[in-house]
Amino acid sequence: MADETTSTPSTEQQQTSAPAPRPSGPRPPRPAGGPGGPGGPGGRKFFRRKKVCKFCTEKIEAISYRDVRLLQGFVAERGKIVPRRLTGVCTRHQRRLSQAIKQSRNIALLAFATRY
**What is the Cα–Cα distance from 48 to 44, expressed in whole angstroms?**
9
For residue 61, what is the domain's CATH number?
4.10.640.10
Total number of domains in the chain:
1
What's the pTM?
Answer: 0.58
Asked, for residue 91, whether it belongs to a domain, the answer is yes
Dihedral, CA of residue 79, residue 59, residue 67 and residue 63, to nearest 10 = 70
**8-40, pLDDT tens digit by residue?**
555 555 556 667 777 777 877 766 655 555 555
What pLDDT digit, counting tens, does each position of 72-116 carry?
A: 999 999 999 999 999 999 999 999 999 999 999 999 999 888 776
Q: Specify if 26 maps to a domain.
A: no
Q: Is residue 20 part of a domain?
A: no
Average pLDDT over residues 39-67: 81
